[in-house]
Amino acid sequence: MRTRELAEWLGATFEGDGEKELTGVAPIETAGAADLSFAGSRKGLRQIEESAAGCLIVPADYENTEGRTVIRVPEPRTAFARAVALLHPAPAPPPGIHPTAVVAPDAEIGEGVSVAPLANIGEGSRVGDGCVIGAGCSIGRRVTIGANCILYANVTLYDDVDIGDRVILHSGCVIGADGFGFVMVKDHYEKFPQVGRVSIGNDVEIGANTCVDRAALGVTWVGEGTKLDNMVHVAHNCRIGKHVVVAAQTGFSGGVVIEDYAVVGGQVGVGDKARIESRAVIGSGAGILSSKVVHSGQVMWGTPARPLREHLEQLANLARLPEVRREIRELKERLDKLEKK
């Protein structure tokens, strides 16, 4: 693709050689003459002079003193991501149902759907137009999958799961398994029946080996546009809002509420019935106690989680402990000398 064409597709302006042919993308430090790259940070802007990239996506206010071929945009990283998808489109498998796939007679399969080998689609389920069902996927009964979804290999959808449009489910994720619900009867545990559902909104992406459990009663929700990383656990009856991002190895206990646009770091543990309000930020490794409320816009860190400034002050105090111990020891020695006199 030529620079001129890419700039037009991005709705941006360009400078330099509009006829330059771009065949690939690469980091700014390794890009070659036919590669597209971007500079959105201070570090990236400092690397422009030494970069051999054929074209660079740069901020609108970049001073192009070297006369390089550039495309100016308000947000270089976002524009570059769109350009990568254009220059390296994901291969689309041919539509059709592989002979080894098992599809229930009453399942509804939309137009242009691709079902890979050894996939299974259960009774009463519906798969929307343009979906891709990967090899070995298991789709239970009465499952609804919207249009243009991608299920990579070995995704498991239990019965009574609803998936919106344009959802991406990566390999090994499990949607709709039973929640961890048991009751003590005399000297042993008995299972509390998990008869609820899971509902996944439009444009959600769920990473590899992530589990979203069905509700004991009612619905476990994952809202529109939310992104869950690999190995995240969402327990029964959780309600995750719109456009939430959750990094890897985080676990939400039962009944947790995460409101819209919250950001949750990796390896965070959230106790049951806690609430994280809209646009709050939870730092990596934090622990949120049961029934705790993290208020809108707060930045929390540590275990148990506390406001970031308080957490940093405590870290600073911990770092001073060796010095404080020396001071106490010196004071004790001086006191002993005074007492002897």
Instruction: List pLDDT tens digits, range 200-234.
Output: 999 999 999 999 999 999 999 999 999 999 999 99
Same-domain check for residues 185 and 221:
yes
Tell me if 197 sits within 8 A of 179, measured CB to CB: no
Same-domain check for residues 39 and 103:
no
Q: What is the dihedral of CA 175, 179, 180, 182, to 10 degrees?
A: -150
Tell me if 221 sits within 8 A of 244, measured CB to CB: no
Same-domain check for residues 50 and 156:
no
Q: Of 55, 87, 119, which closes a domain?
A: 87
At 333, which helix (H) or strand (E)?
helix 321-340
> Going by C-beta distance under 8 Å and a sequence separation of 6 or more, which residues neighbour residue 313?
none
Same-domain check for residues 166 and 282:
yes
Same-domain check for residues 103 and 83:
no
Backbone region of residue 159 per phi and psi (left: phi > 0; alpha: psi in -120 to 50; beta: other values): beta
Token duo for residue 292: 């705790």
Same-domain check for residues 62 and 101:
no
d(CA 198, CA 204): 13
d(CA 127, CA 225): 20
> Going by C-beta distance under 8 Å and a sequence separation of 6 or more, which residues neighbour residue 45?
39, 58, 59, 62
DSSP 70-138: EEEES-HHHHHHHHHHHHSPPPPPPSEE-TT-EE-TT-EE-TT-EE-TT-EE-TT-EE-TT-EE-TT-E
User: Which parts of the chain sit beneath pLDDT 50?
Assistant: none
Structurally, the chain folds into a number of domains equal to 3
Same-domain check for residues 143 and 226:
yes
Tell me if 165 sits within 8 A of 145, measured CB to CB: no
Q: Is 69 helix (H, G, I), strand (E, B) or coil?
A: coil
Same-domain check for residues 314 and 302:
no
Predicted pLDDT at 250: 98
Nearest to 152 by CA among 208, 233, 230, 103: 208
Predicted pLDDT at 40: 84
Backbone region of residue 121 per phi and psi (left: phi > 0; alpha: psi in -120 to 50; beta: other values): beta
Same-domain check for residues 248 and 114:
yes
Same-domain check for residues 163 and 206:
yes
User: Is there a catalytic annotation at residue 236?
Assistant: yes
Work out the number of other CB atoms within 10 angstroms of the CB of residue 220.
Answer: 28
Predicted pLDDT at 147: 98
CATH number of the domain that residue 216 is part of: 2.160.10.10
Same-domain check for residues 142 and 238:
yes
The residue segments making up the domain with residue 298 are 96-309
Same-domain check for residues 58 and 173:
no
Catalytic, out of 170, 233, 236, 311? 236
